[in-house]
Amino acid sequence: MAANIEATRQAFRALHREGCFALPNVWDLGGLRRIERLGFTAVASTSAGLAWSLGCEDYELELADVIAHLRTLSDASDLPVNADFENGFADAPDDVARNVVLAADAGVSGLSIEDRGKAGLYDIDLGAARIKAARAALDRAAPSVILVGRSEGFLVGDKDIDRTITRLVAYAAAGADCLYAPGVTDPDQIRQIVAAVAPKPVNVLLMSPAMGMADMADLGVRRVSIGGALARRAWTAFDDAARYFRDEGRLP
C-alpha cells in the first residue's frame, strides 16, 4: 500500500475536480510498472484482464481472488488504484457494503459497482440501494475512497439512453461520487450524461480508435478508461505469435 494512503486517495479525488485524465487498466505488476514509467497519474484494475491471466473468463473469479489482486497492486505502487469491482460480488446491499470495505482495506483509492447480476440488470431501486449502502460503509471505514456508480445497460443490450441516464442520476443521488455507463459512444449521449449528473464527474470507456481523450474532454468528461483493451491486445498478440510458431516453426 502507498506509504500515505490518505494522501494518495486525496490526490485521486483532486484528479476528478477539473480537466480530464487517463485511467489505464492493468492486470499484473509488469503492466503496472510500465504504466508508472509512462507517467500516468492513476491506474485501474480490469476484471477481464485479471481473469484471462489466470486462465478464467470474466466474472468467474471469486471475491478473495480479486481482493488479493487489489492488495498486490496497491502495495506495489504509489499511484491511486481504482478497482474494477464488478457488482460488489453480491446482490444484497448489506453484502455489497461489507465487500467494499474489504476493497478499501486492500488499499484502493476508488472502486466501481455495476448494476447487474447473473440474471441481468437490477431493478433501479435495488441498484440505488446498493450504491447507498456502499457509500455509507465507505463513509464509516474509508470516506475518501471514490465510489463509481456504473450502469451496464448498453453492455447488456438495453441502449435506451434515457433509461441509462435515469439510473445514473439515481446512483448519483444515492451517493456515487463518479458515474459511468460503459458502452455509450455517441458524443451527444455522452454530453447528455455529463449534463444530467453534473457537477459529479463522468467516466467514459474508450471503445474504438474513433474515440479520443481530447474529444472526451471537450464533452466535459473527467476520466477516460480502456477496460480490458490492453489485456485483449496483449493476448491477441500472444495468440498470433504462438499460432505462427505452431504453423511455421519460426518467430513471426
Q: Is the pLDDT of residue 2 over 80?
A: no
Band of the pLDDT at 3, cuts 50, 70, 90? Answer: low
All three cell numbers of 58: 470474466
Q: Tens of pLDDT along 52-79?
A: 999 999 999 999 999 999 999 999 999 9
Q: Which helix (H) or strand (E) holds 128?
A: helix 124-141
Instruction: State whether CATH 3.20.20.60 applies to domain 5-248.
Output: yes
Rounded Cα distance, 178 and 176, in Å: 6
Q: What is the structure's pLDDT at 208? A: 93
| Bond prior to 80 in cis (omega within 30° of 0) | no
Q: In which band, very low, low, confident or very high, does the pLDDT at 125 lie, cut at 50, 70 and 90?
A: very high
Cβ-based neighbours of 32, under 8 Å, separated by 6 or more: 26, 43, 73, 76, 77, 79
70, 103 contact by CB (below 8 A): yes
Rounded distance between C-alpha atoms, residue 52 and residue 235, angstroms: 9
Return phi, psi of residue 26, to 5°: -120, 165
Return d(Cα 185, Cα 168) in angstroms, integer. 16
**Average pLDDT value for the chain:** 97
Q: Extract the runs of DSSP E, i.e. beta strands, from the chain.
A: 21-23, 25-26, 43-45, 81-84, 110-113, 116-117, 120-121, 146-150, 178-180, 202-205, 223-225
Residue range 42-53: average pLDDT? 96
Asked whether residue 22 carries a pLDDT value surpassing 70, the answer given is yes
Q: Is 243 left (phi over 0), alpha (psi -120 to 50) or beta?
A: alpha
Identify the helix (H) or strand (E) that includes residue 186. Answer: none
Contact 12, 77 (CB under 8 A): no
Q: Is residue 50 scored above 80 in pLDDT?
A: yes
Q: Give the confidence band of 45 by pLDDT, cuts at 50, 70, 90.
A: very high
Predicted confidence at residue 114, as pLDDT, reads: 98
What percent of the chain is predicted at pLDDT more than 90? Answer: 99
DSSP category for residue 131:
H
Listed in sequence order, the residues at least 6 apart from 103 whose beta carbon sits closer than 8 Å to its beta carbon are 67, 70, 83, 85, 111
Average pLDDT over residues 178-203: 98
Q: Is the pLDDT of residue 1 over 60?
A: no
| CA 156 – CA 8 distance, rounded (Å) | 34
**Residue 133 pLDDT greater than 70, yes or no:** yes
Distance separating alpha carbons of residues 123 and 96, to the nearest angstrom: 16
Collapsing DSSP to helix, strand or coil, 149 comes out as: strand
What pTM does this model have? 0.95
